[in-house]
Chain A
Amino acid sequence: MSQSNASLREPQIHSAFVGRHIGPREVDKREMLGILGLSSMEELIDRVVPGSILENEPLALDASCTEQEALQALRRLAHMNKVFKSFIGMGYYGTFTPPVILRNVLESPAWYTAYTPYQPEISQGRLEAILNFQTMVSDLTGLDIANSSLLDEGTAAAEAMALCRRMSKSKSNTFFVSEICHPQTIEVIRTRALPMGYRVVVGDHRRELDGLELFGVLLQYPGSDGEIHDYAEVVSTAHEKSALVAVAADLLSLALLKPPGEFGADIAIGSTQRFGVPMGFGGPHAAYMATRESFKRSLPGRIVGVSIDSRGDPAYRLAMQTREQHIRREKATSNICTAQVLLAVMASMYAVYHGPDGLRNIARRVHRLTTVLAEGLRQLGFEVMTRHFFDTLLINTGERTGQLHEAARVRGMNLREVDGKRIGISLDETTTIEDVTALWSVFGGGDLNPTAMAASAGDRIPAGLARSSRFLTHKVFNSHQSETAMLRYLRMLADRDLALDRAMIPLGSCTMKLNATAEMIPVTWPGFCDIHPFAPAEQTQGYSELISELERMLCAVTGYAAVSLQPNAGSQGEFAGLLAINGYHQSRGEGHRNICLIPSSAHGTNPASAQMAGMKVVVVNCDSSGNIDIADLTAKAQKHSLDLAAIMITYPSTHGVFEESVREVCRIVHDHGGQVYIDGANLNALVGVCYPGRFGGDVSHLNLHKTFSIPHGGGGPGVGPIGVCEHLQPFLPGNPLATAADGAVGPVSAAPWGSAGILPISYAYIKMMGRDGLLEATRSAILNANYIAHRLREHYPVLYTGPNGMVAHECIVDLRPLKESSGITVEDVAKRLIDYGFHAPTMSFPVAGTLMIEPTESESKAELDRFCEAMICIRQEIRAVETGTLDAEDNPLRNAPHTIAELTDEEWQHCYSRAQAVYPVAALRAGKYWSPVGRIDNVYGDRNLVCSCPALSEYADELA
């Protein structure tokens, strides 16, 4: 086409992003369809998706737009948000993200596109970063062991309550919560306590503990009102009653304050947001939990530990996985899966960057400014009600309260609206002396002299509670204070890992698709970042439009009537969805319904969430083709007819198949009075093709961090919104700042819209893909999976398929027969894939001894072929073991991954060649990912548990 013919408005330009997001070119798609014996994408979908649920109208969404248009739309929304200086506090503070961390972690695909480090050999960089996080938390809190992140402070407090219940010897079911805990924390605890049958007593810890029998206590340190209390006595009172004590502690204040571990607390929890993570209108940020060594097996969430690799060198891995929902299922004590790893990495790097002295200086400056502010306010005649404080003041403002808030807003400042008579002010790292002067002028003292105020303002930390112990003494926190050192440290860690920026991550059930740069860019704009979750509504118009627009889009995609964006992970969505079901049954006088049917193939979070929602799990079997066994389902639904609360199914199933009988399954459950929960983790196979809200679901959660392009961050953040049919709409999660009315459901997250700060990603994705692009993505994801299944089928059995021999958007290859014939296990194949430059597919879920492959639509045919070739070469290696050409023990599979250290040994130790070990296919010579460590010893790691940065001498001992 000659230039003069180019039209001024070409529709292709508007759908250009679709072709950027989807890997295979049109010609590739035609070729792949041809190989599958199909003539069109429509025919593919007809073959895969049961006619009974397939819908043909287009999605009720706009056509696709360009990256520039999406950015423009988001820029407009960001500008509609008013960035005020926040003095609201309540667990969310202004902070400076060190630019070197902003660019090289938060904005770096090497960090944000990584997956949860289940394959530790290729995750050493982020495992080190989160081990630093654990060390930082355990040092600052003075407790033995910390996990690597929970979802927010509210849910962390709820997890602490559960931990107290498990470990306390008390027979009581009462949990005491101090009234000076953050209000949103108290509400999240109430929500979690209700289905477990715990009684929550909120009161004054100084007076109301006596005479109570209880299993646990939650205190806030410093209090939400700013006051620092000496809790030593409360701790001993509680311990006398066999109750345990959890302390929600502000991490920055602990640089100056005696840590909870030193006054006897059993558990510390809190947020690490102010360690360089923007407020983001409520999230995402990493919460932490630390506890005693003796409680370690009950600690929820992921824990990184140090082990050794095949050569005895130190290496990191996820420790004690037997605690977690993917192993323990309904016996798990927590449903947490996706957490907040990216944000935990940022917080840990903030500590690495500032070091102990830097943190102490920041804390001192914040405290100093607060004392100066307090002195000025006192001299202006205001009663500062907080006696001992770190960074927060409670001021008696009486009749003038409303007026003062007004005056502050005129100056672009938000103060905390405590009640009609009192105002709260929290300072932070970003506060300057000019801000303090501006605050004074709000209170009528614009002419106060800061130097004079400083002269008469003394320290306000109680002498007995000043910190004397050292923290962050490990070398890692004392060697990267120059930006050059920091930059190289971040690069060195990132280079150890395999993320989506290097190769496909074909993890089944995880949907590791493209996280496009245009989607990521708005996340760090101040209009989205620097907004406090409890900022007045008139300042957050951009967010409200973004949220309602996104809710509408997700309703269109799912066929549900309403959506709540509050749950900040899939697991939380499940919990929220089950609470909606409970609420619904109760509203009909059927609150006794408590049986939850769950197919044996379900993801571990399903049974764990059901247990947390107070339900009893009854497992439904699958038949030999992997589908729900209808006879077993019917029998169990009948048996529990009077008590049936719900079924939780995943669609397409975790076996990667569109079950033909899904409508029947829903009908059977409905007939017996139950509600249908459809786990939407696999929605990537459904978008634009069929609608869970229309084929029988009453409620679903979606994983925006799968289907809607939010990156996985190495194990979080996530967003797990729920969609519900109209009858469940009254039971969506409530506002964290209000106590839920009787019959309504409370909040499941600390912030009203959970991880609001990353919603622009999904918004941009849906806008840029548009109705046709989203459908094309679904089709391409299904095409890619079927292409892989087709290419691998003659080498490995594909475990389950639909009636036409087709899979959905993922496929399971069965390695159990190979184990029988060769002794080679899934683990061997997974580790060998590392030598070929790949992240392994999902191992042993949902079927032990198998690999589940999900390519997503974003992988090109060339990458699919590269992966298939690797799998086929590996099959040939296994065959060589079967025939005896390769030794049964000393073979490249058993010994994988191979490291440079091993290769450069004086003597090569194996009975196959070096080249066969590391260059099994020629293309690797042109560019290869080298595993930094050999195969990691799991047993050693759990038996010799080390969950904080080991002293260098310890390594030496181990190796001696």
Chain B
Amino acid sequence: MNKYLIITVIGADRPGLVELLARTLVAHNANWLESRMANLAGRFAGMVEADVPEANFEPLVEALEKLQADGLKVMVDGGLAEPAEDSFREAQLELVGQDRVGIVQEISSALARHGVSIEKLHTQSESASMSGETLFRARAELRVPNDLDMEALQQSLELLADELMVDIDLQRQTVG
């Protein structure tokens, strides 16, 4: 029987961090399933989903925590019996509006209120075609509960800020 875990790491970016993490997993016969990595302001941040034979779970967690010594802060959320099987669907969210302070926070909290989680979020501000005003664009991949009313979600996002245009495309397949 395997156990699933989510590992979150953060540390000053330098070559070899991913390798260090991978080596630790392999040493415990853990299986690297999925991951997201990013470099933000010179810091390396990553999230890895892995599974590991039940017997190796505790030693792996200990080994990961020891990486602190190498400058990697690690958090483990684990011991799940299986990957979260659920009644979620994927959705794509695209949003464009006037750029201003606080917009990401407002959006993410509105999404959370609807039980929607953000899988990936890409945002950018850019100079708008023709008028040159600063626009904020966000593209997100979402997991939405199957029973969520997409129109209601769209409306409450647009209500957040009158100047937002929100497009949501629902992906057909269910996750998991």
Known: A843-B127, A844-B129. A297 touches B158 (CB 8 A): yes
**Chain B, 153-170, contact with A by CB distance < 8 Å: what is the 0/1 string?**
000001001111101000
* Any A CB within 8 A of the CB of B100: yes
* Any B CB within 8 A of the CB of A79: no
Stretch among B16-24, B68-76, B130-138 lining the A interface: B130-138
| B162-A848 in contact (CB<8A) | no
* Any B CB within 8 A of the CB of A943: yes
| A842-B163 in contact (CB<8A) | no
Chain B interface residues toward A at CB < 8 A: 94, 96-100, 126-135, 158, 161-165, 167
| A320-B163 in contact (CB<8A) | yes
| B129-A945 in contact (CB<8A) | no
Stretch among A181-189, A743-751, A823-831, A919-927 lining the B interface: A823-831
**Chain A residues, Cβ within 8 Å of B96:** 322, 327-328
**Chain B residues, Cβ within 8 Å of A846:** 129
| B162-A943 in contact (CB<8A) | yes
| B129-A326 in contact (CB<8A) | yes
| A322-B130 in contact (CB<8A) | no
* Least distance between A746 CB and chain B CB atoms (Å): 29
Separation of A326 and B126 alpha carbons in the complex (Å): 13
| B130-A843 in contact (CB<8A) | yes
Separation of A332 and B97 alpha carbons in the complex (Å): 14
List A residues 318-339 near B (Cβ within 8 Å): 318, 320-323, 326-328, 331
Contact of A323 among B131, B133, B161, B165 (CB under 8 A): B165
* Any B CB within 8 A of the CB of A939: yes
Separation of A938 and B125 alpha carbons in the complex (Å): 14
Specify the chain B residue showing the minimal Cβ separation from A936: B133
**Chain A residues, Cβ within 8 Å of B161:** 943
Known: A297-B158, A938-B98, A939-B98. A844 touches B163 (CB 8 A): no
**Chain A residues, Cβ within 8 Å of B94:** 331
* Any B CB within 8 A of the CB of A489: no
- Can you list 29 A-B contacts with CB-CB less than 8 angstroms, sorted by A residue number? A120-B131, A297-B165, A321-B131, A322-B98, A323-B165, A326-B128, A326-B130, A327-B96, A328-B165, A331-B94, A826-B132, A827-B134, A840-B132, A842-B130, A843-B128, A844-B128, A844-B130, A844-B132, A848-B127, A849-B126, A849-B127, A938-B98, A938-B133, A939-B99, A939-B163, A942-B97, A942-B98, A942-B163, A945-B162
| B162-A321 in contact (CB<8A) | no
| B127-A938 in contact (CB<8A) | no
**Chain B residues, Cβ within 8 Å of A119:** 131
Separation of A120 and B132 alpha carbons in the complex (Å): 11
Supplied contacts A326-B129, A327-B96, A844-B130, 17 more A-B pairs, CB within 8 Å: A120-B131, A297-B162, A320-B163, A321-B128, A322-B98, A327-B135, A328-B165, A331-B94, A826-B127, A827-B134, A843-B130, A846-B129, A849-B127, A938-B134, A939-B99, A939-B100, A943-B98
What are the 9 tightest A-B residue pairs by CB atom distance, in nearest-first order?
Answer: A942-B163, A843-B132, A938-B133, A827-B132, A844-B127, A845-B129, A322-B165, A848-B126, A326-B129
* Any B CB within 8 A of the CB of A382: no
**Chain B residues, Cβ within 8 Å of A842:** 130
**Chain A residues, Cβ within 8 Å of B126:** 844, 848-849
Separation of A845 and B132 alpha carbons in the complex (Å): 9
* Least distance between A300 CB and chain B CB atoms (Å): 13
| A827-B127 in contact (CB<8A) | yes
Contact of A321 among B99, B127, B133, B164 (CB under 8 A): B133
Separation of A945 and B97 alpha carbons in the complex (Å): 14
Contact of A322 among B97, B100, B127, B132 (CB under 8 A): B97
* Any B CB within 8 A of the CB of A118: yes
| A843-B163 in contact (CB<8A) | no
Separation of A938 and B135 alpha carbons in the complex (Å): 10
* Any B CB within 8 A of the CB of A283: no
